[in-house]
Structure 1
């Protein structure tokens, strides 16, 4: 099996494990009355399964993205150019007396 596929399966498994812990904590602490709502229903298993799978998709995607982005090599090249000193150069600008020009627009 290619290394990338193995990495993907491993990170998805970690994401779904984190999702299981997250759903367990949601139900244990009864966040926003969710636990009472789920366990009062006759479809509690389906509700818990949906919570786990939907959160598992999100957590697995985030876990895989984090793993891929952390594989990047460090860029050790110098940054910022050569840091040359800039010295001001005086520039003479000839100034002329301003003349008020009136323009006429004809229609």
Structure 2
């Protein structure tokens, strides 16, 4: 299995694990009376699954994006040589315009 695919699957599993913890905290602390709504309805399990699933999609995407962005952070400083940034010395030039409006 390619390393990138393995990395993606790993980050998706971490994201859905975080979603499970987040959903459990939401239900346990009864945020916005969510516990009564989920447990008191006949479609409560569907609602619980949808909260878990969509939060899992978000957390997995964010987890993967953070991991990918941190991959290039190990040695991204290009200041090994002391040349610095190139400087552009702009010189103004005069432009003559003919006065065509009278």
Q: Which TM-score tier does this pair reach, normalised by the shorter chain?
A: 0.7 to 0.9
Counterpart residue number, 1:81:
84
Partner of 1:60: 60
Equivalent position of 2:27 in the other structure: 27
Give unpaired runs (5+ residues) of structure 1: 83-104
**Aligned counterparts of 1:26 and 1:60: Cα–Cα separation in 2:** 18
CA RMSD of aligned residues (A): 2.0
Greater CA drift, 37-46 or 50-59: 37-46
Secondary structure of the 2:71 match is coil
How far apart are residue 81 of structure 1 and its match?
3.0
Equivalenced residue count is: 84
Matched residue SS, 1:81: coil
Normalised TM-score (structure 2): 0.75
Q: How much does 1:13 deviate?
A: 0.2
Q: Which has the higher helix share?
A: 2
1:17 to 2:17 alignment: yes
Structure 2 segments unaligned to the other structure (5+ residues)? 86-101
Deviation at 1:75, TM superposition (A): 2.2
Shift of 1:64: 0.3
Distance 1:33 1:71, change over 3 A: same
Kindly name which structure, 1 or 2, has the bigger radius of gyration based on alpha carbons.
1
